[in-house]
Amino acid sequence: MNPRTIPPRIHVLAKPTGSVCNLNCSYCFYLKKELLYPGSRFRMTDEVLENYICQLIQSHQADKVAVTWQGGEPTLMGVGFYRRAIELQEKYRRPGMTFENTMQTNGTLLNDEWCEFFRENDFLIGISIDGPRELHDAHRVDRRGTPTFDRVMMGLRLLQKHGIEYNVLVTVNRVNANHPLNVYRFLRDEAGTNWMQFIPAIERLSEGSVTPYQQGTTVSDRTVESEQWGNFLIAVFDEWVGRDVGKIFVQTFEAAVRNWLGMGSSGMCVFNPVCGQGLALEHNGDLYSCDHFVEPGYLLGNILQRHMINQVGSKQQRKFGRDKLDTLPRACRQCEVRFACHGECPKNRFLTTTDGESGLNYLCKGYKAFFNHIDKPLQIMAQLIRSGVPAAQVMQVLPQDYTEQAEVFFKVGRSESRVGASPWEPTTPEKP
Ligand code: SF4
Ligand code: SF4
């Protein structure tokens, strides 16, 4: 294996329960993945766990190792599974090596024991919550159809009580997308969170049915609409840029700032020119190109048979990552906000452009509106950061009607404002 084909840090998102979850959120594409492993108990064995940790460490050239747990619902494995994972990290670690364990959970099974464990081992927890009660409960229900808001909030309060570092992940669907400020203000003011991720819910339909694979060119009626997504981001951005810069971190905005600064990587695979550095490990050791492509065509191999490092650096995986760039339609290549959008995620590229080319992103209209809308304030932020001034100063210099007046404030073209090195480094954790 050519060492130049292996990135110094590898992101593998482990799914110890596969797609199994104690909830039954109506838009969840993971649940349908159970079909991939008929008859499986969906529990990662100790053998797979040990190989995972050992190979992850062996594959890392850097001293910081990200260990990411997701599902399904990863807490269904019980705390003992993760105690063992920590033991294995200690067993295989090289001198000077540190671990960043992160877990994405629905929060409903958390208790004091979990939280004590998280604190002892510095876990960063992501909680999935879709906004205030009525918006959250629109789709996030359990297997009996019972709403889950109270249980999720109980989990979140426990994390706060124990001083666990956490962030929230909101799935933006056709219901909550109409209430951006309700969602944002609830998270900020009531849930008390200062780090948020907004993910668009997109369920593709193939022959009229939701499919576990990335197939079909139509979407379900739970799927956020493209313009709706753009309007959601715009509304949240306007609130954020007017009062919360430097206090509240919104992953999409952080990525945008990095792209306006021309930093090389946005910190989000979807807004980078190429991808392929965030793989997904199923409960049985099967390694896939990406969590969104856990399907037969994107299976790289099983870590019990072929070392992870050979799969990460394989021709197949490098092609997967480069395809994000190589398959960009002309509309994207000529787009004025390409530097920020990069055609977003290939899983969402199932529309045809006006000139008949396939591969246009379903969310294109929304992104175009959003990135054009934030251009002026981000030029200002980039300029401030580059001058060594905290980005939060943008709140003082931005006039009410910033889209008009920003033009006068900084007479710089976008290309001018994006060149050069930046003294700014975001302090927020980077997600795969
Ligand atoms: S396919 Fe999409 S989610 Fe997966 S790594 Fe590429 S950009 Fe990221
Ligand atoms: S906004 Fe649309 S055309 Fe522009 S890069 Fe993004 S997906 Fe492509």
Tens of pLDDT, residue by residue over 353-387, are: 999 999 999 999 999 999 999 999 999 999 999 99
Q: Facing residues of 99 across strands? A: 65
Q: Binning pLDDT at 50, 70 and 90, where does residue 284 land?
A: very high
Neighbour tally for 259: CB within 10 Å: 25
Give the residue whose CA is nearest to atom 2 of ligand 1.
345
Is 96 exposed, middle or buried (CB count within 10 Å of its CB: 0-12, 13-18, 19+)?
A: exposed
| Separation of CA 336 and ligand 2 centre (Å) | 8
Distance CA 102, CA 124 (A): 5
Give the integer Cα–Cα distance in Å for 179 and 177.
5
Ligand nearest the Cα atom of residue 345: 1
As a whole number of angstroms, the distance between CA 169 and CA 129 comes to 6
State which ligand 2 atom lies nearest to the alpha carbon of 342. 5
Q: Is 326 among the catalytic positions?
A: no
For residue 272, what pLDDT is reported?
97
Q: What is the pLDDT of residue 5?
A: 64
> Is the pLDDT at 251 greater than 80, yes or no?
yes
Question: How far is ligand 2, taken at its centre, from the CA of residue 342, in Å?
Answer: 7
Q: One-letter amino acid identity for 111?
A: N
Nearest CA to ligand 1 atom 6: 275
Whole-number Å distance, alpha carbon 117 to ligand 1 midpoint, is: 31
Out of 130, 137, 244, 291, pick the active-site residue. 291
Atom 2 of ligand 2 has which residue's CA nearest to it?
364
- How does DSSP assign 354-371, residue by residue? TTS-EEE-TTHHHHHHHH
Any atom of ligand 1 within 6 Å of the Cβ of 324: yes
Backbone φ, ψ for residue 79 (5° rounding): -65, -30
Residue 430 banded pLDDT, cuts 50, 70, 90: very low
Q: Which helix (H) or strand (E) holds 227?
A: helix 226-243
The per-residue pLDDT for 399 is: 67
Q: How many A from CA of 223 to the centre of ligand 2? A: 19
Low-confidence winner among 59-73, 223-237, 400-414 (lowest mean pLDDT): 400-414
Using 50, 70 and 90 to split pLDDT, how confident is the model at 404? low
Tell me the average pLDDT across 235-242. 95
Q: SS3 of 205, please?
A: strand
**Is 268 a pocket residue for ligand 1 (Cβ < 6 Å)?**
no
| pLDDT (mean) for 407-424 | 36
- Calculate how far, in angstroms, residue 373's C-alpha sits from the geometric centre of ligand 2: 14
d(CA 5, CA 309): 10
What's the pLDDT tens digit per position in 124-149? 999 999 999 999 988 888 888 899 99
Q: Report whether residue 294 contacts ligand 1, using a CB cutoff of 6 Å.
A: no
Instruction: Give the per-residue pLDDT at 170.
Output: 97
CA of 340 to the centre of ligand 2 (A): 9
Long-range contacts of 295-299 (CB under 8 A, 24+ apart): 295/36, 295/212, 295/213, 295/214, 296/36
Average pLDDT over the chain, rounded to whole?
89
| 330, pLDDT greater than 70 | yes
CA of 190 to the centre of ligand 1 (A): 32
> In Å, what is the CA distance from 430 to each residue of 15, 188, 250, 295, 427?
19, 20, 11, 26, 9
Ligand in closest contact with the CA of 229: 2
pLDDT at 219: 92
Residues with C-beta less than 6 Å from any ligand 2 atom = 331-332, 335, 337-338, 341, 343-344, 361, 364, 367-368
Residue 416: its pLDDT value, please? Answer: 35
Q: H or E stretch including 218?
A: strand 218-219
Distance CA 193, CA 154 (A): 14
Residue 275: CB within 6 Å of ligand 1?
A: yes
The ligand 2 atom nearest the CA atom of 360 = 7
Which one is predicted more confidently, 31 or 165?
Answer: 165
Three-state DSSP state, 279: strand
Give me 349's structure tokens. 């590229």
pLDDT value of residue 2:
57
Q: Residue with the nearest Cα to atom 3 of ligand 2?
A: 332
Extended strands (E) in 268-360: 278-281, 286-288, 299-302, 351-352, 358-360
Test site for ligand 2: of 327, 330, 354, 368, most ligand atoms within 8 A of the Cβ: 368
Looking at residue 350, its pLDDT comes to 96
Give the ligand 1 atom nearest the CA of 268: 8
- Using DSSP's 3-state secondary structure scheme, residue 76 falls into helix
pLDDT of residue 415: 36
Is it the case that residue 34 has pLDDT exceeding 90?
no
Is residue 71 lining ligand 1, measured as CB closer than 6 Å? Answer: no
pLDDT for residue 8: 72
